[in-house]
Structure 1
Amino acid sequence: MRTTRGARARRLTAGAAVALTLPLAGCVAGSTAGEAPAGPSGITAERVLQVTSVHEETGMTLLEGPVFGDDGKLYLVDVTAPAGDPKVMRVDLDAREVEPVFTDSAGAYTSAQLSPYDGRLYLTDYQGGRIVSVSQDGDDPRTFFEGRVKGRAMHPDDLTFDDDGHLFVTDSSPVAYPVGTMSGRVVRIDRDTGRATVLAANLPNPNGISFDLDGGALWVSQLDANRVDHLTLGEGGTAVTAGHAAIHVNGGTDQTDSTAVDAAGNLYQGMHGTPRILVYAPDGTHQTTVTVPAGHEGLESATNVAIRPGTTDAYMTVSGPAGGFVYRFDALAEGIRQSNGG
């Protein structure tokens, strides 16, 4: 997620960690985002509906974290919603209606995903350094995690779950250019104890996070490096055993945002700066790019995508000065849990 995405981070102001000074290995990708797709031609998404307008109090709106609930409706967060305005909403895509679900006085929620363990909706509070869970009706809010990790406050950005319900979270930390220390992290939080383990450190502002199709490795997008890293996990997911810079994104002035993985293992990479989703094969080859129709002005990001489980109906969150919108396109393969939230 992001507002200007290093800009948003600045404005919103126990295993051993693998200190990944990447790139370590060569690029897996067969093409970069700036080249012509190697597979199918580009995809143009269609607008479904407008969800939000720019908030007077914050001067913007930013939709993120799309996830389909058990009711078949699409749940979204608005990162920049002020206190009292809906921070979690659900969208009836058939009726094209939006319903408020949850709000509070302080949270800046940057992602949402349903736990496979307890079925609750988990939200990352970037500003408060917390992870909060609520029922799918927005009731019974609970703080699942908060506090410092290895002496430093967390800025949880995106999250994903393994099959057992343990959380894997990107801990965002913008790099101050032209010189600065890379201090972003990937953190595992135990489902039962809430114990945080730093899996990878010294990262250039990690953002999106998804398991690959086999569940043995993580795709992690690095906002301040325009790349996607591949981190192989050891048994139990409590340590990273290998990692390398897998996909180098030729984003230009755009930056890599959130990620999703479909039933064929394809990686969907959201972008901030221009509303588009880049799609890569499991080996990193660029397959296609999803864009909005020509003439749809005032849009600056396509942060994230959710593919309805068991279908190829994909919905992306698109935002900018024109407001916050949901767009639809046909995914390359069916949706699974790793393409439903985060």
Structure 2
Amino acid sequence: MALTGCSTGTGEVAGDKAVATGAGRTIRAHEVMQLTETHDKTGMTLLEGPTFGENGGLFVVDATAPAGEPKVMRVDVEKGTSRPVHTDDRGAYTSAQFSPHDGRLYLTDYAHGEVVSLAPDGSDPRTFFSGEVVGARMHPDDIAFDERGDLYVSDSRGLSEGDAHGRVVRIERDGEKATVLADKLAATNGISFDADYRGLWISELTRNRISYLRLDEMGGAASHHTAVRVDGGIARTDSIAVDADGNLYQALHGRPAMAVYDRHGERLATVEVPARTEGLESATNVAITPGGTTAYVTVSGPSGGYVYTFDALAEGIRQSNGG
């Protein structure tokens, strides 16, 4: 299941403040709360897709939760409490996003190649999109919405084979038409619009690189190039978020950390869970408070699923709100 790297400079942390000592700095994340434990039926837990609802609740999915256990949760980050929002007997949800078109919560079901939606309270589940796209069923991982509510989905095909069959798929907001914008990608994972909605940042999990897909006025692909090569070591590039200054927050699968770059590819910082923390292996995604700089990152491993917090480099916008 699709569920970065090393700084060119070194960083030190004095108290709770990040100190720049080279090409990048280290930002220390702090634990907010534990949300899940390893599930007996699946042997793991993997939190994903943190996204803020209109009333301020932080919605999180557990991609490996079995039937009957919460697959979507709402977290009160101020009180450090959570409550279940949705479960079912089949979905393996790897992302969550609220649509600017209808206000519903959209989830990618990686295992079944579907996109489903829920009312904000978890009721009224609907299948938004299912079936093949240009002759192949998707493995949808993350979602980005444009301003009118069309979906841009990272299709992580080829992950198990290690081949470059991944795609970026655009689905119109009524769910009726799907178009492939880019293909021959290596297990497409993270996807986020840039700050101006001019293009998409895309991470390729099995090649540890971030690509940039510039869009034309109709939402189609105008150009595509490799933008950042991530030195991840044992970690791989997972989800991506973008703040108001256009900075990229690249989550790392295989390391509880995030690499932060500016839009020109310069490494600005590394967000780290404290080194003394045991049993946490991946930081999958982040949501930055809309209009604020408090960020919440989902972190998972054998010790369970957690939410950590840190101070982002700039304010949160829709593009830094899960996906």
Q: Percent identity?
A: 58
**Superposed counterparts of 1:72-91, under 5 Å:** 72-91=56-75
> Distance in 1 between the 2:84 and 2:174 partners?
30
Q: What is the CA distance between 1:279 and its match in structure 2?
A: 0.4
Give the alignment partner of residue 235 of structure 1, picking from 203, 217, 220: 217
Gaps of 5+ in 1: 9-31
Residue aligning to 2:76: 92
Q: Is 2:196 the counterpart of 1:223?
A: no
The answer on whether the counterparts of 1:34 and 1:251 sit within 8 Å (CA) in structure 2 is no
Q: Which runs of 5+ in 2 are unaligned?
A: 11-21
Task: Tell me the alpha carbon deviations over residues 277-330 of structure 1, each in whole angstroms, 9 at most, x when there is no partner.
Answer: 100011110000000112110001000000010000000000000000000000
The alignment's C-alpha RMSD in Å is 1.5
Deviation sequence 1:45-97 (CA, Å, 0-9, x none): 00000000000000000000000111211100000000111000000111111
Letter in 2 for 1:257: D
1:286 alignment partner, one of 237, 246, 267: 267
Q: CA deviation at 1:263?
A: 0.4
Q: Deviations over 1:208-261 (max 9, x none)?
A: 000011101100000010000001011121x21111100000001110000000
Alpha-carbon offset, residue 176 of structure 1: 5.9
Q: Cα deviation per residue 1:187-227 (whole Å; 9 max; x = unaligned)? A: 00001252100000111100000001110110000001000
Q: Which residue pairs with 2:298 in the alignment?
A: 317
The runs of 4+ residues in structure 1 deviating greater than 4 Å are 37-40
Q: TM-score, normalised by structure 1?
A: 0.89
Q: Is the 8 A contact 1:309 1:340 kept in 2?
A: yes
SS at match of 1:131: strand
> For the structure 1 residues 175 and 89, does the alpha-carbon distance in structure 2 shift closer, same or farther, using more than 3 Å as the test?
closer
Mean alpha-carbon deviation: is it higher for 67-76 or for 38-47? 38-47
Q: Which amino acid aligns with 2:85?
A: V
RCO (CA 8 Å, sep 6+): is it higher in 1 or 2?
A: 1
2:101 pairs with 1:128: no
Deviation for aligned residue 1:33: 3.6
- Pair 1:144-2:128 in alignment: yes
Does 1:263 pair with 2:244?
yes
Q: Distance in 2 between matches of 1:110 and 1:151?
A: 23
**Matches of 2:92 and 2:135 in 1, distance apart?**
22
- Within a 5 Å distance, the mapping from 1:1-342 to structure 2 comes to 5=2, 33-36=6-9, 41-175=25-159, 181-237=163-219, 239-342=220-323
TM-score, normalised with respect to structure 2 = 0.94
Q: Is the 8 A contact 2:284 2:297 kept in 1?
A: yes
Deviation at 1:159, TM superposition (A): 0.5
Q: Distance in 2 between matches of 1:292 and 1:181?
A: 32
